[in-house]
Structure 1
Amino acid sequence: MRAVTVVPLEKDSVDLTDLPEPPEADGPVLVATRAVGVCGTDLEIIEGQYGWAPPGEDRLAIGHESLGEVLEAPDGSGFAKGDRVVAIVRRPDPEPCAACAAGQWDMCRNGKYTEWGIKEHHGYARERYRITPEFLVKVDPGLGDLGVLLEPTTVVAKAWDHIERIGARAVWQPHKVLVTGAGPIGLLAALLGRQRGLEVHVLDQVTDGLKPDLVAALGATYHHGSVRDAAVDADVVIECTGVGQLVFDVMETTATDGIVCLTGVSSGGRSLPVDAGMLNREMVLGNDVVFGSVNANRRHYEAGADALAKADHDWLARLVTRKVPLSSWKDAYARQPGDVKTVLSFADA
């Protein structure tokens, strides 16, 4: 079967290659891939920055944002032929650690987890895969191929889950939210904020076009200036860019008892002047919290699926700015101006 694969850590080794049919050891449910979303992680793997092939193999099938259709499922699995499904990315470590044993593999303590399409297991940019039912989630059939947005939605579903758990440390009545970055993660974070009835502000560099329009369509406010111009005294900040200076800027602008969630991954290698003492003083005296969030567990996939089902499907469709057929697969991994979310389609392969 065809698959988009790389030689991990080898730049520009990406190619459309043949892989064997998925082994039955991967699980009893056979799924045909309909679409995979392309994100920065895929591009970084293609650039050779990281990635781990399955043990004993040279190449890794990439793709972790998936949408599939069940071809075969055993009785009692909870799935049937024709179900639209999304596969969970991370798997618990084999030991397992306490978090993985409790189903919280997104919080793995020892780093021995696997991630399909990233770390030690083939991903979903292949025509078929097998999987165990516990790592498969149904999506609303009314979403059609927009179900491919579930995995990025889980990232912010987890962020909001942890924000609300932290907020519950005290009497907490959040009102204002700042989201930095209007890429897919930032826009979906804003969507979930609006679904909670909060005042949402989104900050990005783009001055006009699709991103401001998408933010306005949510009933949120778009900004393209500084953090202080966007939303001072935000109760919640969800930082989605990983830009070092911006990370520190948002820490300085929260309201008392403010919560900052970092979802963007910084590239490193750049020094910034920071008044660490003043930042520490403000955080301590303001009871502020800054935390990082990555990946998601099944609870967050289910919450994300609910959020997408409730969302305006026309708005979601505007997030997908390019849908590339498998026959033109290279185009999916070449960024273009105006891209928000690019999807590689296997449906007509």
Structure 2
Amino acid sequence: MKALGVRPGVKDSLELLQVDAPGEAEGGVLVEVIAVGLCGTDKEIVSGEYGEAPAGSDHLILGHENLGRVVSAPEGSGLAEGDLVVGIVRRPDPEPCAACAKGQWDMCRNGKYTEHGIKGLHGFAREQYRAEPDALVKLDPALEGVGVLLEPTTIVAKAWQHTEAIGQRAFFDPKVAVVTGAGPVGLLAALLGVQRGLEVHVFDQVEDGPKPDLVKALGATYHTDTLTDSGVLADVLIECTGVPSVVMETITKHGLDAVTCLTGVSSTGKRLPVDVGAANREAVLGNDVVFGSVNANRGHYEAAAEALKKADGDWLARLITRRVPLDDFGKAFERQEDDVKVVLDVQGA
């Protein structure tokens, strides 16, 4: 069968492979892949920046954002032929550590977790895969056209869940939220903020194209100025760019008792002059919290599935700006001006 893979650490080694069909030892549920979403992580793996093949393999099948349909499943698994499913990306470490043993592999304590399409496990950019039932999340049939957005939604579902948990340290009644970055993760973060009844402000640089309209369609406010210049003082800030100057703004420009969640992974090697004393003073006197968040556990997948189910389907569909057949995978990695989310159509290849 067809699969899209790389040789980890080898720049531009992306190619369409012929691989064996998955064996039953890989899991009791056989899944036909419908679509795979692409993100910055995939591009960095293609660039050879990181990525780890499974033991004994010289290649890594790409793809962690995914949507599939059950071909067959064991009795009593809670799954049946035809069900829409998403494979959970991170799997617990084999020991397991205390966090993984509690189903919180997103908080793995020893770093021995694996991740489909990223670290030690083949990804979902292939025609079929197998998994155990507990590694799959069932979706509402109405999400067939947009279910591939579930994995990026899990990232912000975790961000919001942790933000709200931290907020319970004391009086917490947020009214205003800021999201920096209007890529897929930022837009989905804004969606979850609006669903919580908050006044949401989204900051990005682009002045036209689909992003401003997508934000406005949520009932949120779109900004092209800086957070500093806007004068917006948020109670909750979700940072989705990883841009150092933007990160520093979210840490220092907000209301009192604010909670800032950093989800954007920054590139290294860039230096930014920072008045650490001033930043510390503001954080201490303002009772601020700044925390980082990555990946998600099953609870976040289930929360994300509920959020997508409640969202406007037409709005979600607008996030997917291009669908590219698997055979034309090269085009999917060619950046276009109005791209928001690009998806590989696996069965349409």
**One fold, TM greater than 0.5?**
yes
CA distance in 1, matches of 2:105, 2:145: 27
| TM-score, normalisation: structure 2 | 0.99
SS state at 1:189 partner: helix
Deviation at 1:229, TM superposition (A): 3.0
CA distance in 2, matches of 1:23, 1:7: 22
1:266-323, Cα deviation, whole Å (9 max, x unpaired): 0010111000001001101111000000000000000000000000000001000000
SS state at 2:307 partner: helix
Deviation at 1:145, TM superposition (A): 2.5
1:98 maps to which residue?
A: 98
CA distance in 2, matches of 1:95, 1:254: 42
1:71 maps to which residue?
A: 71
CA distance in 2, matches of 1:213, 1:233: 23
CA distance in 2, matches of 1:24, 1:73: 11
Name the aligned partner's letter for residue 11 of structure 2.
K
Deviation at 1:231, TM superposition (A): 5.1
1:148 maps to which residue?
A: 148
CA distance in 2, matches of 1:230, 1:205: 13
Name the aligned partner's letter for residue 227 of structure 1.
L
Name the aligned partner's letter for residue 141 of structure 1.
P
Residue pair 1:35, 1:145 contacting (<8 A) in 2 also: no
Residue pair 1:326, 1:346 contacting (<8 A) in 2 also: yes
1:276 has 2:295 as partner = no
SS state at 1:205 partner: coil
Alignment of 1:123-202 (within 5 A): 123-202=123-202
CA distance in 2, matches of 1:310, 1:329: 32
CA distance in 1, matches of 2:242, 2:230: 18
Residue pair 1:67, 1:145 contacting (<8 A) in 2 also: no
1:72-108, Cα deviation, whole Å (9 max, x unpaired): 1000000000001000000000011100000000000
1:104-129, Cα deviation, whole Å (9 max, x unpaired): 00000100000010001100000000
SS state at 1:187 partner: helix
Deviation at 1:249, TM superposition (A): 1.3
- Identical-pair percentage: 64
- Using a 3 Å threshold, how does the CA distance of structure 1 residues 164 and 231 change in structure 2: closer, same or farther? farther
1:119 maps to which residue?
A: 119
Residue pair 1:3, 1:17 contacting (<8 A) in 2 also: yes
Q: CA RMSD in A?
A: 0.8
1:323 has 2:323 as partner = yes
| TM-score, normalisation: structure 1 | 0.99
1:294 has 2:301 as partner = no
CA distance in 1, matches of 2:156, 2:329: 28
2:49 maps to which residue?
A: 49
1:13 maps to which residue?
A: 13
SS state at 1:254 partner: coil
Deviation at 1:228, TM superposition (A): 1.8
Unpaired runs of at least 5, structure 2 = none
Unpaired runs of at least 5, structure 1 = none
- Using a 3 Å threshold, how does the CA distance of structure 1 residues 252 and 61 change in structure 2: closer, same or farther? same
Residue pair 2:127, 2:347 contacting (<8 A) in 1 also: no
The ranges of structure 1 where at least 4 consecutive aligned residues each deviate by more than 6 angstroms after the TM superposition are none
Residue pair 1:36, 1:63 contacting (<8 A) in 2 also: yes
2:25 maps to which residue?
A: 25
Name the aligned partner's letter for residue 208 of structure 1.
D
